[in-house]
Structure 1
Amino acid sequence: MLDITFITNNSKTVSVPEDSNLLRVSLREQGGIPFKCGGGLCGTCKCRIEEGREHTDSVKKKEQKLLSEDELAQGYRLACQTFLKGNVKVSWEKSK
């Protein structure tokens, strides 16, 4: 099991199995990451891996289309495309 901390959601922490999808966990556990499509097309679930970036899988082509090189370098990912291998802490911009 690994821990995901949803920083923007009052640092809510949940334990999940390895290889869990970040957006699916957020939906199931009410983590709060925003989303619209869930398929890597809209970019709504853009979030930042604040800690534990080394515990995420490789960046997908869909992410490279929607996120700039700079954003990727800063740890931004699409939650719907991100699978986890270890503990992470994630944040996102709250919609206005």
Structure 2
Amino acid sequence: MPKINYATSGRVIEAPENSNILRISLRYDGELPNKCGGGICGTCVCKIEEGYENLDNVKVQEKRKLGDEWLNKGYRLGCQSFVTDGDVTVSWDEETTKEVKKRKPDKIKKKEKITTTDK
């Protein structure tokens, strides 16, 4: 089973594959900050220190709340991130959480339909 290392709290928790980072933290006192659990508030933002390749794909909610700026720095939302098949180490800090929480979500552009007309 993969291990999730909550580096900031010093907790290392063994979790089944496809476990959610925030849910495991809540269940076993990993101490990851949280509020909404739905990818809206940004409170559970965490830096993936090790094992980014062992996470599932970035969700739309993360893309909107974090934007490319935070995602490219290795941040994810704990409530939206699932550990697939290997160990992961996460950390968090109050300053980053404050910045992400006040960030307005990006609007995701829908693919525009291109139509052509023959004359």
TM beyond 0.5: yes
Residue 74 of structure 1 deviates from its aligned partner by 1.4
Provide the aligned length of Structure 1 versus Structure 2: 95
Matches within 5 A, 1:1-96: 1-9=1-9, 11-85=10-84, 86-94=86-94
Residue 35 of structure 1 deviates from its aligned partner by 0.6
**After TM superposition, what 4+ stretches of structure 1 lie above 3 angstroms from structure 2?**
none
User: Which entry has the higher C-alpha Rg, 1 or 2?
Assistant: 2
Letter in 1 for 2:83: L
Tell me the TM-score normalized by structure 1: 0.93
Residue 94 of structure 1 deviates from its aligned partner by 3.5
**CA offsets per residue over residues 52-75 of structure 1, 9 Å max, x none?**
000000000100111031210111
The whole-number CA distance in structure 2 between the counterparts of 1:93 and 1:68 is 18
- Greater shift in the superposed pair: 54-63 or 67-76: 67-76
Letter in 1 for 2:55: T
Letter in 2 for 1:7: A
- Bigger RCO (CA 8 Å, 6+ sep): 1
- Greater shift in the superposed pair: 86-95 or 54-63: 86-95
* Structure 1: gaps of 5 or more residues: none
Which SS does the other structure have where 2:79 is aligned? helix
Tell me the TM-score normalized by structure 2: 0.76
